[in-house]
């Protein structure tokens, strides 16, 4: 397995065969070029996600830990306990089911309106016409940003995720996009300080937050945390929705079953996430030497949690390469695990239920135009950036 490199063209083109070999032959795989290791098995990633020796404070993205193209700025996902625990508790209330019960009717009405716009055309782009517009609007509502800024925010986030096709890693424009997003968030933080808001929006919580010493965030710090919420809340869901639309089209019996009985929608959405997880991995940095599977990982080395591999692990899932909306897996790593499990899990499941139920109710016999689709191929995130579908 010495040829495995997350930035290699053949790995980016189809990482799954490489993941299968890693799990079988080298579950703790050295990447000397990056002073890092790759963990590919489910239980290893699950356990290490709660192990304090695997620190997020030096970054979690490949651009921060592997290539070091991206600076580490204050964000919830690059903090360790106890600081992380206190801030997460303050923000978490904005993403709990009790708050989402009030948000869900608005999200459902929004998505029905998006479908109304395209239904008579008989065709649309699942990503750009539906998924992106829903996710960024819901993210703005949950964070406390103007929903009319959604289209502009989507464009900035897309630039942030664009990678150099020749060199791999982030582009200069991607780094510039992050700066623009931060500037936008700084402006809204300053406005909110002049006119404090109420309610469970995340921006209110960030502006009001104080640490154990009574110190609050500066404008740049609060804005940096907000950028993470915008990126996380708007980017992944459209790709997951597109993956689900494709897989249900490829399995017409399962699509018909779900269209006839929507009670299985959440199980179906979880299987879509397991089977085609857009985020291939996140990273940690070791604070101590750790031995696993006979390999000695050194303090200071980076560690990749290969989520997309772990979700196909034969040791955890029966026939993991089979798509089955009735699988009902007890555990999966699509939202991470442990200390840094995704804050937006409940939001994503609400969006998944709304979109799948609506699409299967209003265009149940849709056809996918794979020839017209476009995919985002990077070492970090995989999925459709455009997915045309048609219906009668």
Domains defined for the chain, CATH in brackets = 9-390 (1.10.630.10)
39, β-bridge pairs: 28, 305
What pTM was estimated for this model as a whole? 0.90
Residue 77: per-residue pLDDT: 86
Residues of the chain with pLDDT under 70: 1-2, 162-170, 197-200
Check residue 167 and give its pLDDT: 53
Q: What pLDDT does residue 199 have?
A: 61
pLDDT value at residue 270:
97
- What pLDDT is attached to residue 377? 78
Q: How far apart are CA 299 and CA 35, in angstroms?
A: 10
What pLDDT shows up at residue 150?
A: 85
Residue among 143, 164, 1, 156 at smallest CA distance from 67: 164
Q: What is the pLDDT of residue 283?
A: 97
Task: Determine whether 72 is exposed, middle or buried from the number of CB atoms within 10 Å of its CB (0-12, 13-18, 19+).
Answer: middle
Q: What percent of the chain has pLDDT over 70?
A: 96
**pLDDT given for residue 163 in this prediction:** 61
**Helix/strand/coil for 183:** helix
C-alpha–C-alpha distance, residues 108 and 97, integer Å: 15
User: What residue ranges in the chain does DSSP mark as E strands?
Assistant: 28-31, 36-39, 54-55, 123-125, 282-286, 290-292, 295-297, 302-305, 367-368, 374-377, 382-386, 388-390
Whether residue 228 contacts residue 201, with contact meaning beta carbons closer than 8 Å, is answered with: no
Give the CA-trace dihedral at 40, 70, 231, 299, to 10 degrees. 40
Q: Residue 74: its pLDDT value, please?
A: 78
What pLDDT score does 186 carry? Answer: 93
Secondary structure (3-state) at 370: helix
Task: Give the whole-angstrom CA distance, residue 18 versus residue 85.
Answer: 35
The pLDDT of residue 160: 79
């Amino acid at each position: 397995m010495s040829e495995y490199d997350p930035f290699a063209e053949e790995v980016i083109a189809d990482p799954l065969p490489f993941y299968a070999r890693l799990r079988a032959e080298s579950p703790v795989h050295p990447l000397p070029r990056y002073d890092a290791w790759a963990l590919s098995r489910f239980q290893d990633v699950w356990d290490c996600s709660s192990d304090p020796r695997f620190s997020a404070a030096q970054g979690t993205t490949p651009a921060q830990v592997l290539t070091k193209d991206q600076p580490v700025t204050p964000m919830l996902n690059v903090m360790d306990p106890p600081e992380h625990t206190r801030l997460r508790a303050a923000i978490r209330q904005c993403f709990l089911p009790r708050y989402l019960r009030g948000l869900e009717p608005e999200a459902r009405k929004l998505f029905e309106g998006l479908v109304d716009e395209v239904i008579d055309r008989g065709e649309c782009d699942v990503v750009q016409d539906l998924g992106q517009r829903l996710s960024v609007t819901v993210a703005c509502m949950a964070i406390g940003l103007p929903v009319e800024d959604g289209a502009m925010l989507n464009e900035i986030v897309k630039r942030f995720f664009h990678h150099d096709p020749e060199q791999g890693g982030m582009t200069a424009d991607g780094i510039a996009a992050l700066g623009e997003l931060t500037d936008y968030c700084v402006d809204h933080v300053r406005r909110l300080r002049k006119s404090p808001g109420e309610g469970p929006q995340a921006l209110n919580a960030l502006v009001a937050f104080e640490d154990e010493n009574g110190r609050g965030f500066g404008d740049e710090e609060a804005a940096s945390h907000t950028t993470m919420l915008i990126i996380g809340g708007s980017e992944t869901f459209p790709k997951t929705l597109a993956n689900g639309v494709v897989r249900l089209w490829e399995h017409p019996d399962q699509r018909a079953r779900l269209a006839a009985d929507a009670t299985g929608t959440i199980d179906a959405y979880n299987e879509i996430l397991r089977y085609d997880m857009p985020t291939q991995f996140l990273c940690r940095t070791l604070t101590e030497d750790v031995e696993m599977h006979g390999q000695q990982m050194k303090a200071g080395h980076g560690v990749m949690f290969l989520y997309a591999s772990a979700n196909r692990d034969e040791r955890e899932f029966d026939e993991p390469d089979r798509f089955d909306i009735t699988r009902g897996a007890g555990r999966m790593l699509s939202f991470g695990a442990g200390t840094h499990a995704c804050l937006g899990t409940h939001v994503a499941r609400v969006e998944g239920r709304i979109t799948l139920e609506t699409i299967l109710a209003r265009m149940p016999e849709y056809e996918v135009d794979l020839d017209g689709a476009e995919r985002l191929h990077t070492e970090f995130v995989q999925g459709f950036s455009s997915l045309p579908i048609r219906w009668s």
